[in-house]
Chains A and B, each alone.
Chain A
């Protein structure tokens, strides 16, 4: 029997778990979401969601992982299969492979942008070229074209993938854990340096038009009226959900390498709070304050109105660093370096469940499994790169990086509480615990967390265009429900799309790209389901329960 891998140290495990959670969204999405949803008041529903949904989900996933690892399963199909007698449980676990593979495909592409930006910051590209010109050229985006073959972007993508595969092939302790031990402290160091430099900018410094503290005020000034708005609560719950990397199967995978009686309660809480530290304290103190200092608050408010700081982070900040003289290349390298470390510690966590699935269920050696992950990610990623201008990238992000996570998290929370059962579930969470887990969480896990997830799931299905109150008024008036273009139903109905695959001139439309992407993702999901079926059939033929 193959020797089970283990983590090299407990600190390494917690850093790897925190690295899994800490991603680009901690620095680019959180501050914009907070500013757009009530400022400081946003933190109230945010922390409530963290306690009632985030922490319980972390414990559920750690418990499912350690429980599955006891039976030699390190990926979601096997882990879920062990939670009950129902045969369909393992097929819900397909999400735990599918999501990691497909999110890794486009996430590694974004990660490669950060690596490229580190290089271009160091060589001074942004001192002569406006990132707003550089970025579309880098991505190969041309007007009226749905396709792109950007050679430089492909080079960095391949390099990033190769780095991921190499680290993954080194193993759990010598690869993933080592990367987290190097990456996480550097990420925090770079974040602290940039935050201190940004917040201490004075109005007498060259180029500064407004105090960076006005930017901090924009993030933190509380608007308590927003607390009565369901959209603010949904935004806060959504931010907590996506920042913790729950619903992916990666936390379960990492936890499955913990021994049966080792602590998971304190480890899970520590990793979760570490993510919050990076998000709330560092994430809220860099992007918006620095941008406010050089652009003024009005420009920053306009740039973050959609709840994303992506444009500010990639298109604006590199230019603003030019005001920092000799420190500019270092600042650029630190900013994109910390984004790179945030990215790679997450993408490694996406690779491990896929590798574990191939190792456990098909007895593939680690190096070959890592290569298979790299090759699959490259193939899927190339689809995203090639059809980026046509919208394939966004389609991947929506169905795999958003919708699938919610479905899987809701499914596993319900299975944990009602099929595995809370008696066994609570025993699993608290066994070997190095902290006293408040007993109220037993109630929360059974009732409140699933309720939170049902609300998130339902609202993602039928999210209206505009305010909820206006949508209900429209429904009451007999005018139907105005589905938002980014609701699940709206997506399926192609709200806002042209309604045709080819234009009158015979050119493909973005709708064709969207539908092709959906077909690809559906075929992939079914194929992974087929692999699960095959693995269990083989195990059955060998006379043992899978």
Chain B
């Protein structure tokens, strides 16, 4: 893979994985809704 492709992949995967896990973790940490 080219360096450009690696960069795009790593940056995009990081952004997507970060927000996916951050938001899902926030839901898991919150008390259940009424």
Instruction: Identify the A interface with B (CB < 8 A).
Output: 9-11, 14, 39-41, 43, 47, 213-214, 216-217, 220-222, 258-259, 262-263, 266-267, 269-270, 273-274, 276-277, 280-281, 434-435
Pick the residue among B7, B13, B28, B33 that contacts A281 (CB under 8 A).
B13
B3 to chain A, nearest CB (A): 10
Chain A contacts for B2, CB-based, 8 A: 217, 221
Q: Is the interface of B mostly helix, strand, loop or mixed?
A: helix
Residue of B nearest to A434 (CB): B30
Whether A47 touches B28, Cβ cut-off 8 Å, given contacts A259-B33, A262-B33, A270-B23, is no
B8 to chain A, nearest CB (A): 3
Chain B contacts for A10, CB-based, 8 A: 27, 30, 32-33
A62 to chain B, nearest CB (A): 13
Q: Is the interface of A mostly helix, strand, loop or mixed?
A: helix
Contact status B8-A43, CB under 8 Å:
yes
Q: List 25 A-B contacts (CB under 8 A).
A: A10-B27, A10-B30, A11-B28, A39-B8, A40-B7, A47-B15, A216-B5, A217-B1, A217-B5, A220-B1, A220-B5, A220-B6, A220-B8, A221-B1, A221-B4, A222-B4, A222-B5, A258-B33, A259-B34, A263-B33, A267-B27, A273-B16, A273-B19, A274-B20, A280-B16
Chain A contacts for B15, CB-based, 8 A: 47
Contact status B23-A266, CB under 8 Å:
yes
Contact status A47-B32, CB under 8 Å:
no
Contact status A47-B19, CB under 8 Å:
no
Pick the residue among B8, B24, B32 that contacts A222 (CB under 8 A).
B8
Chain A contacts for B17, CB-based, 8 A: 277, 281
Q: In whole angstroms, what is the CA distance A434 to B30 when docked?
A: 8
The 6 closest A-B pairs by CB, nearest first: A40-B8, A270-B23, A220-B5, A221-B5, A277-B20, A217-B1
Chain B contacts for A280, CB-based, 8 A: 12-13, 16
Chain B contacts for A213, CB-based, 8 A: 1
Pick the residue among A41, A47, A276 that contacts B20 (CB under 8 A).
A276
Whether A40 touches B5, Cβ cut-off 8 Å, given contacts A273-B16, A277-B16, A281-B16, is yes
Contact status B13-A41, CB under 8 Å:
no
Chain A contacts for B34, CB-based, 8 A: 259, 262
Contact status B32-A9, CB under 8 Å:
yes
Residue of B nearest to A270 (CB): B23
Contact status B9-A269, CB under 8 Å:
no
Q: In whole angstroms, what is the CA distance A270 to B23 when docked?
A: 5
Chain B contacts for A435, CB-based, 8 A: 23, 26
Q: In whole angstroms, what is the CA distance A41 to B15 when docked?
A: 15
Chain B contacts for A276, CB-based, 8 A: 16, 19-20
A49 to chain B, nearest CB (A): 14
Q: In whole angstroms, what is the CA distance A63 to B2 when docked?
A: 43
Residue of B nearest to A8 (CB): B32
A54 to chain B, nearest CB (A): 12
A377 to chain B, nearest CB (A): 32
B9 to chain A, nearest CB (A): 5
Interface centre among A214, A270, A280 (most CB of B within 10 A): A270
Residue of A nearest to B25 (CB): A270
Whether A273 touches B8, Cβ cut-off 8 Å, given contacts A11-B28, A47-B15, A262-B33, is no
Chain A contacts for B26, CB-based, 8 A: 266, 270, 434-435
- A-B contact sample (14 more), CB < 8 A, given A214-B1, A273-B19, A274-B24: A10-B27, A10-B32, A11-B28, A40-B9, A41-B8, A217-B5, A220-B8, A222-B7, A262-B33, A266-B27, A273-B16, A274-B20, A276-B20, A277-B16
Chain B contacts for A216, CB-based, 8 A: 1, 5, 9
Chain B contacts for A434, CB-based, 8 A: 26-27, 30
Residue of B nearest to A42 (CB): B8
Chain A contacts for B4, CB-based, 8 A: 40, 221-222
Residue of A nearest to B19 (CB): A273
A55 to chain B, nearest CB (A): 10
Pick the residue among B1, B8, B23, B27 that contacts A11 (CB under 8 A).
B27
Chain A contacts for B9, CB-based, 8 A: 40, 216, 220
